[in-house]
Amino acid sequence: MGVNKEVLLIDYGMGNLFSIKKVVERLGYVCLISKNPNSIRNARRIILPGVGHFGKAMTNLKEGGLVEPLQEAALIRGIPILGICLGMQLMTNNSEEGDARGLGWFNADVVRFNTQDKKIYKVPHIGWNSVSMNKPSLLMAGIEKDAEFYFVHSYYCRCKDENDILNTTDYESVFTSAIERQNIFGVQYHPEKSHGNGEKLIENFIKL
């Protein structure tokens, strides 16, 4: 296994790190967990996980000195980066959760679900749901149309550029459940909890 197939999992105090690490290693790849900015500068594949509060997450990234090397990796070096759940949301301009600014890689805002039928469409949105594929993507190679993934979230991304939308999901209304532009990918669902479909997505990412 060459260095190109190593994956850096960023530890900024907000992520479900070990379940992702287990999947990467089960697939036969090396997964490094680090909060060192220099690790980002040397990485060839980066996963930005996240569970919790958007504002707190951005504070942790800034205080850890991680924002600048992340910007360099994503926008200058063109390193493949996958954001999962909150990690995807951090790639946007800003969020209602904490009224905080994000990394700004996608022209999108993060907003809270405001469902009408709260008996059926509870918030947070928890459980399995299908995703529609809005455009061809190597990230989704070999994954069937309308495949199901596991979700746990109260906020979602509202994209302003339709070309960035990779997946959509219907939860009373249709929302963006994955985004992609060039080397940057974000999924609102949890591939590490989504069995075969999730493992295939993670493997596709590592092989980019």
Query: What does DSSP say about strands 46-48 and 81-84: parallel, antiparallel, or unpaired?
Result: parallel
Q: Which of 31, 153, 190, 203 is catalytic?
A: 190
CA 66 to CA 103: how far, in whole Å? Answer: 11
Domain 3-206, classified CATH 3.30.360.10, yes or no: no
Catalytically annotated residue among 31, 85, 157, 159: 85
- Distance set, CA 118 to CA 112, 114, 123, 159, 172 (Å): 14, 9, 8, 24, 10
- Relative to beta strand 184-187, strand 173-181 is antiparallel
What confidence score (pLDDT) does residue 5 get?
79
Q: How do strand 108-112 and strand 94-95 relate by DSSP bridges?
A: parallel
Distances (CA, A) of 12 to 62, 114, 163: 10, 29, 30
**Tokens standing for residue 7:** 């994956």
- Residue 2: the pLDDT is 43
pLDDT of amino acid 4: 63
- Annotation marks residue 192 as catalytic: yes
Where the chain has pLDDT below 70, the residues are 1-4
pLDDT in tens, 69-117: 999 999 999 999 999 999 999 999 999 998 899 999 999 999 999 999 9
pLDDT at 99: 87
The tokens for 49 are 């996980």
- Report how far residue 28's alpha carbon sits from residue 26's, in angstroms, rounded to the nearest whole number: 5
Kindly report, residue by residue over 114-125, the tens digit of the pLDDT: 999 999 999 999
61 vs 73: CA distance, rounded Å: 14
Of the candidates 31, 153, 157, 192, the residue annotated as catalytic is 192
Annotated catalytic residue 190: yes
* Helix-strand-coil split of the chain, %, nearest 5: 30, 30, 40
Angle ∠(80,167,82) on CA atoms, nearest 5: 20
Predicted model pTM: 0.96
